Amino acid sequence: MTVFPIYNILAVPDVNLYVKTETYQKVTGRTPVPEEKLVLIVAKEDLDREDFAPDSFYPIGLRAVISEVNPNGFLMLRTANRVNLDDVVVYRDHSIDLSLSRRPDVDDLDREDAERRLKAVKSAMLEFAEGFQWGQAARAFVTQWTSIGEAAVLMSPWMLNSNAERYAVLAEDSLAKRTEMLEKLIYENLEMGKVHREAANAQEQDHQKIYRESAIRKQMEYLQHELDEMHPEDVTDLRKLEIKIEESGMNETARKEADKVLSRLKHEGQGAESALLYDYLDFLASLPWKKEKARDISLDEAAQVLDEEHYGLKKVKERIIQQLAVMSLKRQQSGSILLFVGAPGTGKTSIGQSIARALQREYVRVSLGGVRDEADIRGHRRTYIGAMPGRILDGIQKCGVSNPVMVLDEVDKLYASYNGDPASALLEVLDPEQNSTFTDHYLNVPFDLSDVLFICTANSLDTIPEPLLNRMEVIQFQGYTPIEKLQIAKRHLLPKAMRSVGLREDQLTVTDEALEAIISDYTREGGVRGLKKRLETLCRTEAVKRVRGEGERLTVTVENLREVLDAHPVPHRSVPESVRPGVVTGLAWTPVGGEILYIETMLTRGSGKILITGQLGEVMKESAQIAVSLVKSLYPEQAELFEKNDLHIHVPDGATPKDGPSAGIALTTALASLLCDKPVAPKIAMTGEVSLRGGVNPIGGLPEKLMAAQRAGVEQVFIPAENDDDLRDVAEEVRNALTITPVQDVAEVLAALELAPKKPALRQRSRRPGPKAETLSA
């Protein structure tokens, strides 16, 4: 007996079943022979499976006989009674052995009723078939059905039910129930078919509408173009706007908004609102909706561009090249957001411009200094009088491409106000997760900013909100040494300034000494902005001379510098030769670079009051209090001086606000010098936070501070030992010019300056040796 697994398990006894000869051969491995007896068994899952196991089959099957082998490639099977599959053995060659027993039907069907039901099923089936492509073919079959079983078999391939649901029909012993189940399947399918058809129809209608609409629109555009070409003189502003919108390549959402506003504009005519609507559409259509393709990046060429346009900045350039390499590897047009931090004039903005040139992309600068209103970033809603787009989209529109390098200048100068928090709006602009659908309130439709390469600049990190800072990678611009400034002036600033006034290279010479003098005597800055201005003045003065015919070849030297620059030298802040006890040189960091400052202390007759002046911030005032307590504990013998006198601490310039903990070590030393009545050489400077126990904690801005120290003529600097690593960022010439002494404890400074505490403190120290901090706090 041949075993023939089937899928079409709506097969019930007593029907004719058509099977493809090919399928039969595939499953049984042989040619069909008429009158051959088969058992149709039902596999639970996939017919393509080759690894059948005994439990892959449902426990009830069906006997059948091949009644006809049709030359057209079909077999006709006649099914007989159902069988239980008592035992199934599957061999390696996939042949199957079965032991079977007959499974009788329970004939409880009312014959007359059966005929009526067959009729009903037939008409249901015809209705069902109507909605499908095979409907016409099925019609002929359906009308020939003579039993409800046959109906079931022939219908089953079209039913949308699962195999398990179909098998349930085969497994049902009661004929009445089985018929009922069949009917249920058919009627259910009929309903499902209806729903399916309705959905398909609705969808088709929608599609048809869309196609029709777009076809009509295209035709209209085409005809309008033809008309425009025939009568170019008649093309109205409105029509020009329409053309601009059509050609802008805007997406579906934007186009819908444009159409809406356009129809309002047409309605409005010359009304009050028309100018606003017109401006809006013009802005919308002039945004770069079309995406720019990513260009291949050559790292060597990029490095060359950066080197050509900027002197020095080695670390910064290295980091930029890394960023470009990552972008190239990931085939992205934007990467992590870089934040350039440093004093003004250190080249942060202009290197942004060089990056754009290196990438052969457009450059756009958006200044955020002093922005208080969220609408400056995100635009005003159009209902607002005088509504405008925000600065970001405005920048995008001006540069006209979707992938510019956008420098957001001065992100440290955004302020939250009652008009919202611009920093949080900026977060949305910079967040790669959100900025592909950035919605400017004015534009009112999303615009994709994901291809923009953002670079932010700031003078200081202190005022940048944490969430914004977290999204950016900080790159420090340390400021330039005088030697670097000389090179920048010679190679870049002077040639540029000469070109801008129309002087040729052979018409003006500025000696190196004159340039050095400008750097040291006429500017006081970490960057080169002042230097640039001085050189521009110099070139203008020389240009006048040349026009007046005062010389063919002009030369600027140290001698005629003052006259050429028409300015007094900047009062030079350099350390004096000597000062009195209680005064110590400190180092400060400011957003415009490093500075030296003096800590001045004085005792006057009084009753132990402490007076602090010089516009010190809260943190610096606390440092002063710590220094007083520390010195009292270090010099117990002299401590009563503080009780019998008033102490005055002053930090000039009185008008400049100062803050931060880094003057702690200088404050402590100044007080020690006062108590010991011994001056500290002004050429010795120091920076470091001090704890109540005397430990010296690290500080920020060390490179800028050391540069300022060198500029002012300081010879030795005490720095926190923990800042040792930062020395790598300090220019070699600065390091070589200074004796840098890292310290862990303020006691080391006092000892080095021979201000060591006298007996009691020292005795304590030698009696109970231990960690320094412990001893000092005793």
Catalytic residue numbers read 662, 705
Tell me whether residue 462 is exposed, middle or buried, using C-beta atoms within 10 angstroms of its C-beta: 0 to 12, 13 to 18, 19 or more: exposed
Cα–Cα dist 620/659, whole Å:
5
* Candidate list 8, 248, 328, 349; residue touching ligand ADP; CB under 6 A: 349
| Among 166, 255, 348, 658, interactor with ligand ADP by CB under 6 A | 348
Query: Does 488 interact with ligand ADP (rule: CB under 6 A)?
Result: yes
* Calpha distance 442→426 (Å, rounded): 16
CB of 437 to ligand ADP, least distance (A): 31
Token pair, residue 405, equals: 């390098």
The single residue among 21, 350, 424, 691 that binds ligand ADP, judged by CB under 6 A, is: 350
Site string for ligand ADP, 489-508 (x = CB under 6 A): ---x----------------
Would you say 291 and 402 are in contact if contact means Cβ atoms under 8 Å apart?
yes
Number of residues that bind ligand ADP (CB under 6 A): 18
Does 354 bind ligand ADP (CB under 6 A)? Our answer is no
- Which of 149, 193, 344, 594 is close enough to bind ligand ADP by CB under 6 A? 344
Q: Residue 467 and residue 303: Cα distance in Å, rounded? A: 32
Q: Which is nearer to ligand ADP, 481 or 723 (CB)?
A: 481
The residue at minimum Cβ distance from ligand ADP is 347
CB 691 within 8 A of CB 697: yes
Q: Closest approach of Cβ 493 to ligand ADP, in Å?
A: 6
| Shortest Å, Cβ 712 to ligand ADP | 22
Tell the smallest beta-carbon distance from residue 657 to ligand ADP (Å). Answer: 22
Q: Which is nearer to ligand ADP, 335 or 526 (CB)?
A: 526
SS3 191: helix
**Residue number with CB closer to ligand ADP (88 or 486):** 486
Choosing from 312, 591, 594, 688, the residue that interacts with ligand ADP (CB under 6 A) is 312
User: Within a 10 A sphere around the Cβ of 46, how many other Cβ atoms?
Assistant: 10
Our CB check for ligand ADP shows the closer of 156 and 349 to be 349
CA distance 43 to 623: 86
Query: Does 347 contact ligand ADP by CB under 6 A?
Result: yes
Distances (CA, A) of 430 to 401, 476, 775: 18, 20, 51
CB 430 within 8 A of CB 472: yes
Using CB under 6 A as the binding rule, whether residue 310 contacts ligand ADP is answered as yes
Q: Are 106 and 168 in contact (CB under 8 A)?
A: no
Task: Compare residues 529 and 648 and give the one whose CB is closer to ligand ADP.
Answer: 529
Distance CA 649, CA 495 (A): 48
**Is 479 one of the binding residues for ligand ADP (CB under 6 A)?**
no
Among 8, 179, 346, 523, binds ligand ADP (CB under 6 A): 346
Tell me how far, at minimum, the Cβ of 701 lies from ligand ADP, in Å. Answer: 16
**150/410 with CB nearer ligand ADP:** 410
Q: Which amino acid is at 628?
A: V
Cβ nearer to ligand ADP, comparing 410 with 745: 410
| Interhelix angle 237-247/274-286, nearest 10 degrees | 30
Our finding on whether 535 is near ligand ADP (CB under 6 A) is no
The interface with ligand ADP within residues 514-533 (CB under 6 A) comprises: 527-529, 532
CA distance 151 to 14: 11
CB of 306 to ligand ADP, least distance (A): 10
Three-state SS annotation for 234-249: HCCHHHHHHHHHHHCC
CB 422 → ligand ADP: shortest distance, Å? 20
Residue among 280, 275, 216 nearest 254 (CA): 280
Helix axis angle for 494-501 and 529-547, nearest 10°, is 40
Cβ proximity to ligand ADP, 312 vs 703, nearer residue: 312
User: How many angstroms separate the CA atoms of 723 and 688, rounded?
Assistant: 9
Taking the complex as a whole, the smallest distance from the CB of residue 519 to ligand ADP amounts, in Å, to: 13
CB of 477 to ligand ADP, least distance (A): 6
Binder of ligand ADP out of 41, 83, 142, 313 (CB under 6 A): 313
Closer by beta carbon to ligand ADP, 365 or else 441: 365
- Are 457 and 352 in contact, with CB atoms under 8 Å apart? yes
**Which residue is associated with the tokens 């008033």?**
646
Binding window for ligand ADP (CB under 6 A); candidates: 241-249, 345-353, 535-543, 615-623: 345-353
Beta carbon nearer to ligand ADP, 286 or 350: 350
Q: Are 63 and 80 in contact (CB under 8 A)?
A: yes
Question: Which of 413, 441 has the CB closer to ligand ADP?
Answer: 413
What CA–CA distances, in Å, run from 102 to 44, 82, 86, 199? 21, 6, 10, 46
Least distance (Å) between residue 217 CB and ligand ADP: 48
Find the angle CA(557)-CA(559)-CA(565) to the nearest 5 degrees: 75
Q: Which stretch binds ligand ADP (CB under 6 A): 71-79, 120-128, 348-356, 506-514?
A: 348-356
CB of 344 to ligand ADP, least distance (A): 4
DSSP states of 541-595: HHHHHHHTTS-SSEEE-TTTHHHHHTSPPPPP----S---TTEEEEEEEETTEEE
3-class DSSP state of 65:
strand
- The verdict on 404 binding ligand ADP (CB under 6 A) reads no
C-alpha–C-alpha distance, residues 258 and 252, integer Å = 10
Q: Which stretch binds ligand ADP (CB under 6 A): 288-296, 304-312, 393-401, 512-520?
A: 304-312
Residue 227 token pair: 């008309």
Whole-number Å distance between alpha carbons of 114 and 726? 97
| Per-residue interface string for the shown chain with ligand ADP, residues 442-471, x marking contact by CB under 6 A | ---------------x--------------
Greatest Cα pair distance, the chain, in angstroms, is 132
CA distance linking residue 316 with residue 478, whole number of Å = 10
Residues forming contacts to ligand ADP in the complex (CB under 6 A) are: 310-313, 344-350, 457, 488, 492, 527-529, 532
